[in-house]
Amino acid sequence: MPDGGLPSVLDVKDLKTVFRTRRGEIHAVNNVSFHLEAGELLGVVGESGSGKSVTMMSLIGLLPMPPAEVRNGRVMFEGQDLLACNEDQLRAVRGARIGFVFQDPMTSLNPVFNVGFQIIEPLRKHMGLSKSRARARAVELLELVGIPDAARRLGDYPHQFSGGMRQRVMIAIALACDPKVLIADEPTTALDVTIQAQILELVKELRQKLGMAIVWITHDLGVIAGIADRVMVMYGGQVVEQGPVRELFANPKHPYTRMLLETVPSVTGERAERLQVIDGQPPMLAQSPDSCPFRARCPLAFERCEQENPKRVPVGPGHDAACFWDVDAGAPRDV
Amino acid sequence: MLTYTIRRLLLAIPTLLFISFIIFLIVKLSPSDPTAGLPLTIPPEVREQIRESLGVNQPVFVQYFRWLQLMVWNEPLHLIEGWTGWNVAPESTTRIISYQTRSPVMDLIMQRMPQTLWVVGISYIVGIIIALPIGIISAYRQYSWFDQLGTFISMLGFSVPTFFTGVLFIVIFAVNLGWFPSVYDTTHVVTDWDSFIVQLKQIIMPVMVLGLFNASQISRFMRASMLDNLNQDYVRTARAKGLTEKVVVLVHVLRNSLIPVVTVIALNVPAVFGGAIITEQVFKVNGIGQLLIIAIQSGDVPTVQTVSFIFAVLIVLFNLIADVLYGVLDPRIRYD
Ligand SMILES: Nc1ncnc2c1ncn2[C@@H]1O[C@H](COP(=O)(O)OP(=O)(O)O)[C@@H](O)[C@H]1O
Ligand SMILES: [Mg+2]
């Protein structure tokens, strides 16, 4: 429960997802906890492979099982634990109460059905609309996401849309049934920079109009800075730091967050000199999760980081980090 | 699409002319004598006269163009006359005549076509009906015992030739068990329930043999195509929309997976006719395949030429049908 006392829309506790592979278990998501408040935009950052997608897919049973297995956790959404729901109950949530937008708009739409069919499908299924009502709503939705000449374009196939337009269609599908939560998994990564900016504008605008909460996954801190209320940084399948966007950008407490912020090109035009690449390899998720996942690349690592996996501790108002080293005191934290 | 089809049909004409000429040359080059099958008592002068009357001593080009003229002009006119009763065809002498039976080749083909169509057509349809669900389930439950069993059986069905399975079936089901007749009686007419049962019994074995082969091939295609599609991003989108697995698999995935499978099914039709030649021989079905084999054995050039040409037409035609179907099923394909 957040500090304000209002119940969260989404409250995830100790989520643990592993992949069983021939070469052993991969701890893709390791004791992840976070919450999402009504109307809030939570940015999730972390380099590729840090478990962002797997975390979100675990919430509503979108992972292929096997090989995936959600081992532990509780996901409270609208009064029920999604991890305890059966397939039917989950299906009633997916696409209706929680909408999804994925990374690659080129492949995320079915190539052989026109976009009208693909938008109408969830409307008919979840809202029980008649064919003509669903059609009318589909036109509204396409207009809402800024597709010109919406009524005519319903009959068009995905390949007749540009990348940015397809992502708008995906957003229309995700928002079709007026969801409480929209999860956008790197929705602009595959797009040109200008198109990216347009999609960001669109989401900001839709959020004002519709008021849903949004989880925005990205590996681009620059995107997060302009749009998020709160940021959650992930590394090696864990949340390493979390806090309000200004606070976290001004006062990063985890060495990984600090390095990430240093790799962001300066906005003021100092150009790419400041752009450093983080040294070292991304974490091996196959290893057992009882030491800090970042220790091998961490400039501040000491013995304790080998022996224990740090828990998240409060480091500021609404701000926590999972590190044994207190960067302000320049000494180990006594927790 | 229509202009594309017309263009392809026009392009098919030179292709078929070329094919028919090559077939003609090959058949002509084979050292066979249309009089070889006649009794030995016939003196050489008479044999020479027979050859003369058949036109086999004329230059190859003359013979080819004569055949071609009969094939593309006289025979279609006869066909139209047969169907409509209009008196449009030239005298009955101007038709392609079989050396062996001395009757028009087209009449022989028309007599035998129904048998072949029944056996080949039913076995192909049976094969498809069996193959599609097996392919779908095998892919959806990849590496399950069902998939493993399906893989094993289709490997067998695909790699064991039909003349072997045919004989094996005859030995087991006709000779040892006595369930079905080993010979297909083409004179049998279905008039009532009992005669229908007789027809069913005699068609089961050839249909099983060909159907097993067809099903093996198509189910592999179906499985591979489903597996390709099951991992696509749009499947995840469909699930994220809250659709049931039934809709995800049987609407979203299947519709995509069928595109290459339907194409292969259409492309394979001529090959199935070709493969049926063997099966017809094994079960003594006197269809087109058997006609071709007898004609080859007796040096009956016009019959061999005409039947081969019909096979060539089938191949070209079903290639076109496959391409058109592809364009119809896949909205991304544009033939302009
Ligand atoms: N189907 C899978 N099988 C095995 N491992 C997987 C699978 N999907 C994801 N993983 C593992 O989970 C880790 C996290 O992946 P993901 O959540 O996609 O990262 P990202 O933060 O880039 O979204 C990956 O490093 C990968 O090792
Ligand atoms: Mg990802």
Name which residue leads in pLDDT, B47 or B205.
B205
- Above 70 in pLDDT, residue A293? yes
- Above 60 in pLDDT, residue A74? yes
Percent of chain B with pLDDT over 70: 96
Q: What is the pLDDT of residues B153-190, one digit of tens each?
A: 999 988 988 888 888 988 998 888 888 888 887 777 88
Name which residue leads in pLDDT, B76 or A229.
A229
A29 DSSP β-pair partners: A17
Q: Which residues contact B203 (CB under 8 A, 6 or more apart)?
A: B118, B119, B122, B184
- Above 90 in pLDDT, residue B131? yes
Q: Which residues contact A332 (CB under 8 A, 6 or more apart)?
A: A302, A304, A324, A325, A326
Confidence of residue A284 (pLDDT cuts 50, 70, 90): low
What DSSP assignment string belongs to B155-192?
HHHHHS-HHHHHHHHIIIIIIIS--S-SS--TT----S
Q: What is the pLDDT of residues B208-243, one digit of tens each?
A: 888 898 899 999 999 999 999 998 999 999 999 999
Q: Which residue among A26, A45, A233, A287 has the greatest number of ligand 1 atoms within 8 angstroms of its CB, and so is best to mutate?
A: A26
Chain B hits for A107, Cβ within 8 Å = 232-234
Q: Where are the domains of chain A?
A: 8-97+177-332
Q: Do B332 and A157 touch (CB under 8 A)?
A: yes
The residue type found at B139 is A
Q: Which residue among A21, A54, A233 has the greatest number of ligand 1 atoms within 8 angstroms of its CB, and so is best to mutate?
A: A54
Confidence of residue B202 (pLDDT cuts 50, 70, 90): confident
| CA distance linking residue B223 with residue B135, whole number of Å | 4
Sign of CA dihedral B236, B241, B245, B249: negative
DSSP state of A43: E
- Above 70 in pLDDT, residue A279? no
- Is A105 near chain B, with CB under 8 Å? no
- Is A68 near chain B, with CB under 8 Å? no
User: What's the pTM value of the predicted model, to 2 decimals?
Assistant: 0.84
Residue with tokens 């009064």: A79
- Is A108 near chain B, with CB under 8 Å? yes
| CA distance linking residue A275 with residue A188, whole number of Å | 21
CA-to-CA dists, residue A149 to A91, A138, A162, A168, B244, angstroms: 32, 12, 15, 14, 31
Residue A120 pLDDT: 93
- Is A112 near chain B, with CB under 8 Å? yes
List the strands of the sheet with A24-36, edge to edge. Answer: A24-36, A10-21, A68-77, A80-81
Chain B hits for A111, Cβ within 8 Å = 234, 256, 330-332
Q: Residue range A24-35: average pLDDT?
A: 88
Q: Residue range A262-285: average pLDDT?
A: 52
Confidence of residue A15 (pLDDT cuts 50, 70, 90): very high
Confidence of residue A6 (pLDDT cuts 50, 70, 90): low
Q: Residue range A94-98: average pLDDT?
A: 91
Strands A325-326 and A331-332: antiparallel
Ligand nearest to the CA of A235: 1
Question: Are A54 and A28 within 8 A, CB to CB?
Answer: yes
- Above 80 in pLDDT, residue A93? yes
Distance from CA of A88 to the nearest CA of B (A): 8
**Atom 12 of ligand 1 has which residue's CA nearest to it?**
A28
Name which residue leads in pLDDT, B50 or B172.
B172
Confidence of residue A275 (pLDDT cuts 50, 70, 90): very low
**Atom 20 of ligand 1 has which residue's CA nearest to it?**
A49
Q: Is A314 left (phi over 0), alpha (psi -120 to 50) or beta?
A: beta
- Above 80 in pLDDT, residue B40? no
Q: Which residues contact A53 (CB under 8 A, 6 or more apart)?
A: A185, A186, A217
> Is the backbone peptide bond immediately before A67 cis, with ω within 30 degrees of 0?
yes
Q: Do A109 and B234 touch (CB under 8 A)?
A: yes
Q: What is the pLDDT of residues A194-241, one digit of tens each?
A: 888 888 888 888 888 888 899 999 888 888 888 889 999 998 889 999
Q: Among A41, A68, A39, which residue's Cα sits nearest to residue A55?
A: A68
Distance from CA of B293 to the nearest CA of A (A): 45
User: Per mean pLDDT, which range of A152-161, A310-319, A324-333, B173-182 is the poorest?
Assistant: A324-333
Name which residue leads in pLDDT, B170 or A6.
B170
| CA distance linking residue B81 with residue B246, whole number of Å | 52
User: Per mean pLDDT, which range of B54-58, B189-193, B259-263 is the poorest?
Assistant: B54-58
Residue B2 pLDDT: 82
Confidence of residue A270 (pLDDT cuts 50, 70, 90): very low
Q: Do A107 and B244 touch (CB under 8 A)?
A: no
Predicted complex ipTM: 0.86
Residue A2 pLDDT: 44
Q: Write the residue in B237, B242, B329 that is nearest to A96 by C-beta.
A: B242
Name which residue leads in pLDDT, B138 or B79.
B138
User: Per mean pLDDT, which range of A81-95, B4-18, B52-66, B174-188 is the poorest?
Assistant: B52-66
Mean pLDDT computed over every residue of chain B:
85
Q: Which helix (H) or strand (E) holds A203?
A: helix A193-210
Confidence of residue A288 (pLDDT cuts 50, 70, 90): low
* Fold type of domain B106-329: MetI-like fold (1.10.3720)
Work out the number of other CB atoms within 10 angstroms of the CB of residue B15. Answer: 14
Token duo for residue A120: 């109408």
Q: Among B256, B253, B271, B299, which residue's Cα sits nearest to residue B56?
A: B299
| CA distance linking residue B139 with residue A271, whole number of Å | 51
Residue range(s) of every CATH 1.10.3720.10 domain in chain B: 106-329
- Above 80 in pLDDT, residue A267? no
HSE, side-chain direction, 13 A CA sphere, residue A121:
26
- Is A319 near chain B, with CB under 8 Å? no
- Is A77 near chain B, with CB under 8 Å? no
Percent of chain B with pLDDT over 90: 23
CA-to-CA dists, residue B222 to A135, B191, B319, angstroms: 33, 38, 19
Q: Write the residue in B237, B244, B255 that is nearest to A108 by C-beta.
A: B237
Residue with tokens 């279609």: B76
Q: Write the residue in B239, B244, B331 that is nearest to A157 by C-beta.
A: B331
Q: Do B243 and A125 touch (CB under 8 A)?
A: yes
Q: Do A159 and B252 touch (CB under 8 A)?
A: no
Distance from CA of A294 to the nearest CA of B (A): 31
Question: What phi and psi values does residue B49 have, to the nearest 5 degrees?
Answer: -65, -40
| CA distance linking residue B313 with residue B317, whole number of Å | 6
* Fold type of domain A8-97+177-332: Rossmann fold (3.40.50)
Ligand 2 center to A156 CA (angstroms): 29
Ligand 1, CB within 6 Å, residue ranges: A 19, 21, 26, 28, 46, 48-54, 67, 285
Q: Which helix (H) or strand (E) holds A126?
A: helix A115-127
- Is A93 near chain B, with CB under 8 Å? yes
Ligand 2 center to A81 CA (angstroms): 24
- Is A125 near chain B, with CB under 8 Å? yes
Q: What is the pLDDT of residues A109-147, one digit of tens each?
A: 999 999 999 999 999 988 888 889 989 999 999 988 888
